[in-house]
Amino acid sequence: MVKKILITGASSGIGRALAHELAGRGYALALAARRAEALETVRNEILAKHPSAPVVTQPLDVTAYDTVPGVVGACAEALEGLDIVFANAGIGLGDKVGRGRFDDARRTIETNLLGAMATVDAAVAYFLEQGHGHVVGTSSVMANRGMPRSGSYCASKAGFAIYLESLRAEAYRRNIQVTVLYPGYIDTPLNDMLKRRPFLISAEKGAAMMAGMIERQVKASTVPVWPWRILGLMLRWLPTRVIARF
């Protein structure tokens, strides 16, 4: 049976790469993002490689919280159901605290945390009515520790991971699976301005790893697993004098 997935933030980065990867695996795709033209470009790219792939697009700004349930419903109707919702839309704005950039911090929290929560809430409401489903969310290895110049981003990703853990407990025995992914440095526009990106992998490689994790319905994993499983834990225990140098 063909699996049907909704991917938010599908116009670029991880979302775009995962859409290509899953199309190659025979999935039916609903792609959502703010930029409708960019979404259509992704759809056309996929259809050029996989002409028979079911691909629908929906413009979505996840910070327009009241519109999210309608978009989830429209995608489910277009594909005649949804098996997976991947809450992936995110931004990476940030600066040191107290530098007059609070608007960027606010936008980061609104998108990465509140927008992601709105997406998951709408997905779970649909899955509860349907009787089954799989929620996948993008956190980050930076959820393990507050890093300089990235306080709002780290907070948003840590908060979303905890939210998904709470959902897993609530959905226990409700036939709803929950997967939390913690990417390390994956080559996307979100981080390509950084001078240092240790253990960088391509978006395509990251997407292939994520697709496998989604198919196995893993509860949580770093992407890639190594070395970030160990490094993520190490971040929690490094002294502040070391973190301050980052």
Of the candidates 6, 60, 64, the residue with the CA atom closest to the CA atom of residue 31 = 6
Q: How many domains does the chain have?
A: 1
Contact yes or no for 21/204 (Cβ under 8 A) = yes
The pLDDT of residue 194 = 80
**C-alpha dist (Å) from residue 155 to 45, 145, 158, 235:** 34, 9, 5, 15
Q: Which residue has the tokens 């940030």?
A: 94
Contact yes or no for 8/15 (Cβ under 8 A) = yes
Which alpha helices (DSSP H) does the chain contain, by range?
Answer: 13-24, 36-49, 68-79, 102-109, 116-130, 151-170, 203-216, 228-237, 240-243
Catalytic residue among 27, 65, 126, 153: 153
How would you classify residue 166: left for phi > 0, otherwise alpha for psi between -120 and 50, otherwise beta?
alpha
User: Which range marks the domain in which residue 12 is found?
Assistant: 4-243
CATH number at residue 61: 3.40.50.720
Phi, psi of 151 (to 5 degrees): -60, -45
153 as an active site residue: the answer is yes
CA 164 – CA 172 distance, rounded (Å): 12
Q: Tens digits of per-residue pLDDT, 174-200? A: 999 999 999 999 999 888 878 889 999
Q: Tens digits of per-residue pLDDT, 193-243? A: 788 899 999 999 999 999 999 999 999 999 999 999 999 989 999 999 999
Show pLDDT as tens, one digit a residue, over the chain (246 residues). Answer: 899 999 999 999 999 999 999 999 999 999 999 999 999 999 999 999 999 999 999 999 999 999 999 999 999 999 999 999 999 999 988 789 999 999 999 999 999 999 999 999 999 999 999 999 999 999 999 999 999 999 999 999 999 999 999 999 999 999 999 999 999 999 998 888 788 899 999 999 999 999 999 999 999 999 999 999 999 989 999 999 999 988
